[in-house]
Structure 1
Amino acid sequence: MMPQVIPPQRAYIIIDLKSFYASVECVDRGLDPMKALLAVADAERSKGTICLAITPAMKALGIKNRCRIYEIPKHLDYIVAPPRMKRYIDISADIYGIYLSYVAKEDIHVYSIDESFLDVTNYLGLYGLSAHDLALRIMNDIREKLGLRATCGIGTNLYLAKVALDILAKHSPDFIAELTEDSFKQRLWTHRPLTDFWRIGPGTARRLSSMGIINQCDIAHFPEKLMYKQFGVLAEYMIDHAWGRESCTMQDIKNYRTRTKSLSCGQVLMRDYSFEEALIIVKEMADELSLDMVAAHVVSSNVSLFVGYSKDAYPSTGASANLPVTTNSFRILMDTFAKLYSRSTMRGIPIRRVCISANSVLDECYEQYSFFVDPVIMEKDRRITQSVNQIKARYGKNAILKGMDLYEAGNTIERNEFIGGHKAGATLY
C-alpha cells in the first residue's frame, strides 16, 4: 500500500493599501497619509456626493469612509481632492510591478485596484523568510518607493488571509495578521458582528440571527440539513468558512472561465431626469454598448434594462427582451432598448439610475440573420462602428459624436472624460 502524500501547507498573503485614493493624493501633495485630513470626492457634483476615500486621520475622528460631503463636520479644516482615476490606475500598476519583483504573475491575483492576493508558498524557501517577514519586506518596499502604507493578511488558505486582513491586521502594530484553521477558531469563532466576515452581508446576517446564529461558532455547530434548507448551495461555503476551510486555490482562480458572459454599462444620474430626458440617456448607453461589443467582437440575442427612481416609495423596474437577430448593431440595440424602456418604465416619476446589458454574449462568428433584418444594413452598421472605435482610439472618445449627445440631457461628452464613472484627473488640484 502506497503511503498517503500530504500536500504541503500553503501560504497566502493579501496586501491592501490603506485608504488608497486618499493616500495617493496626500503623497502627491507632500503630506503624511496617516496624519493629513483629506477626502477624495468630486465636490462639483453636489454636497451629497459620496467620498471615494478619506484618510485614516479622518476615520479616527469617527467619520465614515463612504460618507457624503455634507456629513463631514463643517468646522473641520480638511482638503477635498477631486478623484484622479488615471493616477490611481498608474500607481496600482507600479505596485503590481513591485509584486512581480518578488513572485511570478501566475502567483498573483489582483482582487481590486488596491488589493492583491499572492501565493508565496514556493518562495519562502527561496528567500529564506517566513510569510510574515516576506510580507513585511514587500510592504516596506511599497512604502519606500511610493510612500504608501499597506496592511496584510496571511493565511493557510485564501479565505483565512482575507479574514486576517479585514478583521485583525488593522489592530496589529505592524499591520500584519496571520491565521490558520486552528487560530481562526481560537480568535474569531465568537467574533461579532458576522458582517465583518467576507461574503456575509446584512441580509444574510439577519437571516442567521433569526435562526439564533450570531457568530461563526454557531454556524459551525448548527445542523447542516437546516443550513442547506435555508441557504441552499451557499450553505456549503458558509459551513466551510465557519471552520476556516477554503478549497479554492490560486491555480483554480487562474483556470476559471465563466460559462456565459455579458456586457453592461450603468450610471447614477446627477439630478432627477424626466421620462423623456432619461430616454436620451438610454439611447446614449445603447450606442456605447454597441461600441464595446464591436470592439470585443461579440454579439447577443437578449438584452436587459434596469431603471431606478429618485423616490424610495417607487421600486426599481427591470425588463429584458430578445433581439430580432443575434447582433451588435447599434441600430437594432438602440431601437430595442428604446422600446423596452417605453413599455417598462414608469412615467412621471423622476429617474436617477439606469443600467443596460447585453446577455450571454457570443463570438461574432455566431451572428445570425433573419428575413426581417437586411444583412447588408447590419454589415454596414458594423463597419461604421469599427471606424468610430478607431477614430476614438486615436483622437479621443469625444473626437466623434452623435447628434443626440448634444442634447442638454445627454452626458456622453462628460462621461467620455471619466474612468470608472469618475474624473480621470490628469492634473493635481
Structure 2
Amino acid sequence: MCIDLKSFYASVECADRGLDPFVTNLVVADPDRSANTICLAITPAMKALGVRNRCRVRDIPEGIDYMVAVPRMRRYMEASGQIVAAYLKLVSAEDVHVYSIDECFIDAAPYLRLYRTDARTFARKLMDAAFRVTGVTATAGIGENMFQAKVALDICAKHAPDGIGQLDAESFKREVWFHRPITDIWGIGPGVARRLAKHGAYDLAGVCATNPKVLHREFGKNAEYLIDHAWGLEACTVSQARMYRPRGHSLSNGQVLMRDYAPAEAETLLREMVLSSALELVEKGLCAQVVSVWAGYSASNFPHQSWEKFGPCGGAAAGAGGSAKLPKPTNDVGVLTDAVLSMFRARVAPGIAIRRLTVAFGDLVGTNEVQPTLFDDDRAEQKAAAVSRAMVDVRRRFGANALMKATSLKEEANGMERNNQVGGHRA
C-alpha cells in the first residue's frame, strides 16, 4: 500500500483551526514574501475551484476569498510523526518505508491474514488511524508491488469515492496503459517524456510497443526500469527500500532568493552556505572530495522572453556553475569557501542578476579515512579543525545564530534568518 495525506500542510492548518479543508479556502504561504512566492499547499476546496497546487500567490484568480496560513514546518513534522506512530500500532516498523513527510509505503500482505481482512478494508483502517490522531484525510493506493501501489494512488485514488485506488496486473493494463500525460506516472518527468516522444511513445502502452533495443540506446541501463514499469512490474520490496543506502554520498544546500542579487552580493550568501554545510560535515565526521556550485539567473536578465520559460523557480532555470575535485578531502571552512568562490567567479557572468544558489559537497568520506600527504601543514590543519569543532559545540548548545561570521551582518546576508527556518520555510 502507498498512503498519502491529502493536501497535508493545508489540512493540518485546517485541522488545527477546526475547519474542514474540503469547504475552506486556505493557502499555506509566507505573506511576508512577494506575490511570486510559491504556495506550499492549498486545500481541496481551492483545487475544486481550479487553482493549481504549488502555484504562486499571484496566480490565484481574483475573486476567490481565501485564508493565508504561515508555514509551520515543525508542526507538520510533528503531525507526520504522530501519523506514522498510529500506523505502527497496526504494522511493524520493518514493513513501513517512509517515502516523504506525507507519504509512506506499507507491506500489507502479512497483516491481511493477521487481521483476517481484505486489502481495501485494511487501507481504510490505516486511513482512519491517521484521521483520528490529526484530523487529516488520507488516500491510499493498493497494488501487487510498490510501483503499482504508487500509480494506484496517483492516478486511480483521486477518482475513487472512498479515496482508495487498487491495481493488479490486468487492471493496470486497462486503467494505466493508455493514461496521458505520461508524466503523471511515478518516475517519468518531462525530460524522459520528451525522449520517449521522439520514438512515438506517449503512454505506457507506447513504451511496451517500442523496440527494447531502441529504449536501451536512448536510456542505457535505466531502460530496464522503464520497461518493467510499463508492464506494471517492480522488483524492489518495501524491506529493500528501507535498507537502501546510496553508494555515493553528498551534501547540498540551496535557496531561492527573494530578490535579484548581484554576483558580489551572492558571494556573501555563498560564504554563509559553505559555513553551514562545512560545519555539518564536521559534526558528522565527514570530508568532501568534490565541490559544486550553481547560480540560477533571474528572468529580469531576459526581458523579452516569457517568464514561464524559466520554470517554477522565479526565472532560475538558466544559469551557470560547475564541479571541481579538491586536492585532498577536507571539511575546512576556509578551503571549501575558497574553492566555491573561485569556481563561482570563474563560471558566473559578471553583472548578471541571480535568483537561485546551490552549493554541494560530494564524494564524502570519513575524516578517519583521509590519508596525510608530505605537503600537509599539520599544525594549521589541527588548529582549523579545533576551531570548527568549537563552532559546532557552541552552535549545538546555544543555537546556530550564537556564532556566525561577521559577513552575516551585511545587509544582503540571510544566514541568521535561514537558521531559524526548517527546509527554507518558517519553522
TM over 0.5: yes
Alignment match of 2:349 (pick from 346, 351, 362): 346
Distance 1:395 1:137 in 2: 43
Distance 2:388 2:118 in 1: 54
- TM-score of the pair, normalised by structure 1: 0.93
Aligned residue number for residue 266 of structure 2: 278
Corresponding pairs, count:
412
- TM-score of the pair, normalised by structure 2: 0.93
Alignment match of 1:91 (pick from 67, 79, 87): 79
Change (3 A) 1:268 1:175: same
Distance 2:290 2:194 in 1: 35
Three-state SS of the structure 1 residue aligned to 2:109 is coil
Code of the aligned partner of 1:88: Y
**After superposition, where does 1:293-372 map in structure 2 within 5 Å?**
293-311=281-299, 313=302, 315-372=318-375
1:385 aligns with 2:421: no
- The Cα of 1:34 is off from its aligned counterpart by 1.4
Q: Once superposed, which parts of structure 1, at least 4 consecutive aligned residues long, lie more than 6 Å away?
A: none
Aligned residue number for residue 188 of structure 1: 176
Code of the aligned partner of 1:199: G
Question: Which segment drifts farther, 207-216 or 271-280?
Answer: 207-216
Three-state SS of the structure 1 residue aligned to 2:131 is helix
Distance 1:370 1:305 in 2: 27
Contact 1:139 1:149 in 2 (8 A): yes
Code of the aligned partner of 1:63: V
Three-state SS of the structure 2 residue aligned to 1:356 is strand
Change (3 A) 1:271 1:197: same
Distance 1:102 1:386 in 2: 43
Alignment match of 1:394 (pick from 384, 392, 397): 397
- The Cα of 1:207 is off from its aligned counterpart by 2.4
- The Cα of 1:104 is off from its aligned counterpart by 1.1
Contact 1:50 1:66 in 2 (8 A): yes
Alignment match of 2:66 (pick from 65, 78, 88): 78
Three-state SS of the structure 1 residue aligned to 2:326 is strand
Contact 1:323 1:332 in 2 (8 A): no
Aligned residue number for residue 423 of structure 1: 426
Aligned residue number for residue 198 of structure 1: 186
Distance 1:358 1:206 in 2: 30
Three-state SS of the structure 2 residue aligned to 1:103 is coil
Code of the aligned partner of 1:32: D
**After superposition, where does 1:2-401 map in structure 2 within 5 Å?**
13-311=1-299, 313=302, 315-401=318-404
Q: Deviations over 1:2-33 (max 9, x none)?
A: xxxxxxxxxxx011000000000011111112
Q: Deviations over 1:328-383 (max 9, x none)?
A: 11121112212222212110001111111111000110234445542222222222
- The Cα of 1:390 is off from its aligned counterpart by 1.9
1:411 aligns with 2:411: no
Q: Deviations over 1:190-228 (max 9, x none)?
A: 222211111111222222223222222221122211221
Distance 2:240 2:184 in 1: 25
Contact 2:282 2:389 in 1 (8 A): yes
Contact 2:321 2:343 in 1 (8 A): no
Code of the aligned partner of 1:366: E
Q: Deviations over 1:253-310 (max 9, x none)?
A: 1332221111111111111111111111111111111111001110122211111110
Distance 1:319 1:189 in 2: 39
Gaps of 5+ in 2: 303-316
CA RMSD of aligned residues (A): 1.4
Distance 1:264 1:94 in 2: 28
Distance 2:328 2:236 in 1: 39
Distance 2:425 2:376 in 1: 38
Distance 1:383 1:408 in 2: 30
